[in-house]
Amino acid sequence: MILTREEIAFLDVYCHEGTEPPFGGPATDVMTSLGVGNGDTLNLQWAYLRDQPPTGPTIGNSGKVAPPLPWANRDAVLRRDAEIAATRDELQRAPSIGLSRQGGQVDDARKAISTRRDGE
């Protein structure tokens, strides 16, 4: 796992709000109040989807209130996103296993999707 339990709990609501109408909600409001936009958290979102792959058409879960924010401020969010970007780069540079037909290196989340599509 890349994320902490606290990060997963928050991102579960935040990612849901970003993918389901009416697009926004309490977790998004908290991030916006820090000056963090959706584009600032792309690697956090990637890590959430990697650690908690959706089991259906909906990503995450809605919440009437935002879970506790796992980062102290905007700088901490951006630092954590950058840390995950470095982890993601390392994973993508690692040799892929069992996907020689793909002809490239992919991260674990893409391996699972490709494997399902290929029927393996």
Q: Given this model, what pLDDT does residue 94 score?
A: 81
- The enclosing H or E element of 94 equals none
**Over the stretch 85-115, which tens digit does the pLDDT of each residue have?**
999 999 999 876 554 444 444 455 544 443 4
Domain hosting residue 12, numbered range: 5-118
How many domains are contained in the chain? 1
**Over the stretch 27-82, which tens digit does the pLDDT of each residue have?**
999 999 999 999 999 999 999 999 999 999 999 999 999 999 999 999 999 999 99
Q: Given this model, what pLDDT does residue 97 score?
A: 57
Q: Which of 71, 52, 70, 40 is nearest to 2 (CA)?
A: 52
Residue 120 near residue 98, CB atoms below 8 Å: yes
Q: Given this model, what pLDDT does residue 1 score?
A: 93
Higher pLDDT, 84 or 94: 84
